[in-house]
Amino acid sequence: MPGILLGDVFPNFEADTTIGKIKFHDFLGNSWGVLFSHPRDFTPVCTTELACAAKVSDKFTQRNVKMIALSIDSVEDHVSWSKDVMAFHPDKAGTPMPFPIIADHNRKLSVQLGMLDPDELDKDGMPLTARCVFVIGPDKKLKLSILYPATTGRNFDELLRVIDSLQLTAQKKVATPVDWKPGDKIMVIPIVTLSCSRGCNQYPVCNVM
């Protein structure tokens, strides 16, 4: 199935969304982006996910990240379902979703990006979109991808954590260890080649004993 690899320029697709037709690179501008798909509107797990995404959307905005969702449903369904999603937040009931949702009813974009789940089918036997996550940098290149099956909901706190790591490591020659969070210790990536006293030039792994 077609897909996209880390470091690839993300396709500059055109799509109908809940905010009108967009061209993806224009939508992102100079921001980072998170494109995440869900199987169907009006389903329990998807509703909890989009409700969580809406709740933490300001945290993505603070990181200069634009969010956009996708499923195979129509724009009309997205708009109607958004009311159910926002009802999870009584203080925001009646307000629009803080990010757009792409309508991919013909599955063209889902196929192009490798987002379909062959084990989850609709009533016509057609595959639904899996729970994909793509993080795109300001250079429009893919920085991270995660693929969840339809049966497993995502953790948006983890997405924020990896975005913090991606943004830090994009600016500095460092790496972040397991369970890293902002403020924790980081690792400096070696950028200078050193030689041992015997001149083997194999630092940090020396084969001369």
The residues assigned a catalytic role are 46, 139
For residue 65, give the 3-state DSSP assignment. strand
Residue 146 CB contacts under 8 Å (≥ 6 apart), including other chains: 132, 133, 154
Axis-axis angle for helices 44-55, 75-86 (nearest 10): 70
- Write the DSSP symbol of residue 72: S
* Number of other CB atoms surrounding residue 96 within 10 Å: 14
**Kind and range of the H or E element at 33?**
strand 32-37
> CA 188 to CA 77: how far, in whole Å?
48
> CA 20 to CA 65: how far, in whole Å?
20
